[in-house]
């Protein structure tokens, strides 16, 4: 399998960076929070796949609803006027669970196309309200919004731009709310104030009549799990409304209990104009994403689309009945199945155990909310010195961690990201922390 993978399967991020020599790790089976590879090596998956398997592996009830739906009706497109019961029920359930008036769902296949869809719907909104010049989007440095051209452009990580003529001319950035490395220190009020001021000046620079929206993750994931101060999200949402621009919350990672509440926006008591979702929506059992639209935003598009032209947007697999059935069962597991509550309980132990790691000589910053954490590595704790990039220390740790039986991700060469399934038990949190500590100590040796 490893030979065939090397020969025929393309993994763009790694295929041309040494992966040729080592080959892929082929996963064979999984149960609970553990995955086993083709060599029989078992690891605790402290990253829930790619921050998505929030309910853990091996849920028979999900298998049953998927099989039943495949037998009954494997396909109905949500592109045109057909629909299906699972898609309708999932949209209805999301409207119940999502904060405020986010009552309308458009289904996609994942997060990148959810972000693309949000961008196109925002353009439709402004075209319909005779403001076609409002087409500039602002996102955060170190933000991640997907791998499509539009999503990669909104993503402010250089590797996604270089050689691809990105960002697009209408994509702009402001600084990340990054307390640990804020130029004026870590004071939360200051971080919030500076973010708001930067958004205001970027909008002034571009012209308020030219800016469509600000898009941000409530906690930046792939940029290095950057946790802004509590209150930042609300301050930015309020600033957007003052500046007459829309606010898109990209909850692809933070949605579905990852940070504690069902949605990070709910925890901060805000309702964005638009919310993008994926990952935990189907917990990795089947691909699906969604864009949730707030009432006035939706109404404006719907009323004008009826009167004018249709919005040219949709996918063959929009509202896929099997994925929708899986999504419904996954949502049931979060609530009635107690997985959200379990995640909240385990998050306390998680935070406690990670707090102990803060003493480690290589650890400069430990930041977490719920079961989402970033550990930033430094070579000097007082000076906050970044490890030399050529060492690739975080990647080295991730590789070593795998040998020690724990899976986590490396970001920006100096941050380790953790996002275990919300189904993780207290004992498994301890096991994860032990294996992580051992990995950090091995590296010091």
Q: Given the rule CB under 6 A, which residues bind ligand PMP?
A: 110-112, 115, 144-147, 217, 221-222, 250, 252-253, 278
Which residue's CB is nearer to ligand PMP, number 253 or number 433?
A: 253
CB of 441 to ligand PMP, least distance (A): 30
CB of 12 to ligand PMP, least distance (A): 13
Which residue's CB is nearer to ligand PMP, number 142 or number 172?
A: 142
Q: How far apart (Å, rounded) are the C-alpha atoms in residues 426 and 369?
A: 17
Which residue's CB is nearer to ligand PMP, number 45 or number 250?
A: 250
Which residue's CB is nearer to ligand PMP, number 278 or number 366?
A: 278
Which residue's CB is nearer to ligand PMP, number 280 or number 364?
A: 280
Q: How far apart (Å, rounded) are the C-alpha atoms in residues 320 and 314?
A: 12
Which residue's CB is nearer to ligand PMP, number 145 or number 349?
A: 145
Q: Please, what is the Cα angle at 50 between 45 and 54, to 5 degrees?
A: 70
Q: Give the residue closest to ligand PMP by C-beta.
A: 111
Which residue's CB is nearer to ligand PMP, number 216 or number 375?
A: 216
CB of 51 to ligand PMP, least distance (A): 7
Chain-centroid distance of CA 241 in Å reads 24
- Helices 85-97 and 321-335 pack at an angle, to 10 degrees, of 40
Which residue's CB is nearer to ligand PMP, number 140 or number 191?
A: 140
> Residue 233 corresponds to which tokens in the numbers above?
């999200």
Give the 3-state DSSP-derived string for the chain, with helices as H, strands as E and coil as C. Answer: CHHHHHHHCCCCCCHHHHHHHHCCCCEEEEEECEEEECCCCEEEECCHHHHCCCCCECCHHHHHHHHHHHHHCCCCCCCCCCCCHHHHHHHHHHHHHCCCCEEEEEEECCHHHHHHHHHHHHHHHHHHCCCCCCCEEEEEECCCCCCCHHHHHHCECHHHCCCCCCCCCCEEEECCCCHHHCCCCCCHHHHHHHHHHHHHHHHHHHCHHHEEEEEECCCECCCCCECCCCCHHHHHHHHHHHCCCEEEEECCCCCCCCCCCCCHHHHCCCCCCEEEECHHHCCCCCCCEEEEEEHHHHHHHHHHHHHCCCCCCCCCCCCCHHHHHHHHHHHHHHHCCCHHHHHHHHHHHHHHHHHHHCCCCCEEEEEEECCEEEEEECCECCCCECCCHHHCHHHHHHHHHHHCCEECEEECCCEEEECCCCCCCHHHHHHHHHHHHHHHHHHHC
Which residue's CB is nearer to ligand PMP, number 115 or number 375?
A: 115
Q: For tokens 């992580």, name the residue.
A: 436
Which residue's CB is nearer to ligand PMP, number 284 or number 364?
A: 284
Which residue's CB is nearer to ligand PMP, number 55 or number 431?
A: 55
CB of 216 to ligand PMP, least distance (A): 9
The full length of the chain comes to 445
CB of 416 to ligand PMP, least distance (A): 16
CB of 155 to ligand PMP, least distance (A): 8
């Amino acid at each position: 399998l490893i030979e065939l993978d090397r020969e025929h399967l393309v993994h763009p991020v790694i295929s041309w960076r040494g992966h040729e020599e080592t080959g892929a790790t082929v996963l064979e089976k999984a149960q609970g929070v553990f995955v086993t590879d083709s060599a029989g090596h078992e690891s605790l998956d402290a990253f829930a796949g790619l921050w998505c398997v929030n309910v853990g592996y091996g849920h028979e009830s999900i298998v049953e609803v998927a099989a039943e739906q495949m037998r009954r009706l494997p396909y109905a497109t949500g592109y045109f006027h057909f629909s299906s019961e699972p898609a309708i029920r999932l949209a209805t359930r999301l409207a119940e669970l999502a904060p405020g008036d986010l009552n309308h769902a458009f289904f996609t296949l994942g997060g990148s196309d959810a972000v693309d869809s949000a961008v196109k719907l925002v353009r439709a909104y402004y075209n319909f309200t005779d403001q076609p010049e409002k087409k500039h989007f602002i996102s955060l440095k170190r933000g991640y919004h997907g791998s499509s051209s539009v999503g990669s452009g909104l993503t402010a990580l250089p590797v996604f731009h270089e050689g691809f003529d990105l960002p697009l001319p209408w994509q702009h950035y402001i600084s990340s709310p990054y307390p640990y490395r804020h130029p004026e220190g870590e004071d939360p009020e200051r971080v919030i104030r500076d973010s708001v001021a930067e958004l205001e000046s970027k909008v002034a620079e571009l012209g308020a009549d030219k800016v469509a929206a600000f898009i941000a993750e409530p906690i930046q994931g792939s940029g290095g799990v950057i946790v802004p101060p509590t209150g930042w999200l609300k301050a930015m949402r309020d600033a957007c409304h003052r500046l007459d621009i829309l606010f898109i919350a990209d909850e692809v990672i933070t949605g579905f209990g990852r940070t504690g509440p069902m949605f990070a926006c709910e925890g901060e008591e805000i309702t964005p104009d638009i919310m993008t979702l994926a990952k935990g929506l189907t917990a990795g059992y089947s691909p699906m994403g969604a864009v949730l639209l707030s009432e006035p935003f939706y109404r404006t598009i719907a009323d004008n689309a009826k009167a004018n032209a249709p919005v040219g947007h949709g996918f063959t697999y929009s509202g896929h009945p099997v994925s929708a059935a899986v999504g419904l069962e996954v949502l049931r597991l979060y609530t009635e199945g107690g997985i959200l509550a379990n995640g909240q309980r385990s998050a306390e132990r998680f935070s406690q155990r990670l707090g102990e790691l803060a003493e480690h000589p290589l650890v400069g910053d430990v930041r977490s909310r719920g079961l989402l954490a970033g550990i930033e590595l430094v070579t000097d704790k007082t000076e906050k010195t970044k490890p030399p990039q050529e060492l690739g220390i975080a990647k080295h740790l991730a590789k070593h961690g795998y040998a020690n039986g724990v899976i986590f991700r490396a970001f920006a060469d100096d941050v380790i990201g953790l996002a275990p399934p919300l189904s993780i038990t207290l004992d498994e949190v301890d096991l994860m922390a032990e294996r992580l500590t051992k990995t950090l100590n091995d590296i010091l040796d």
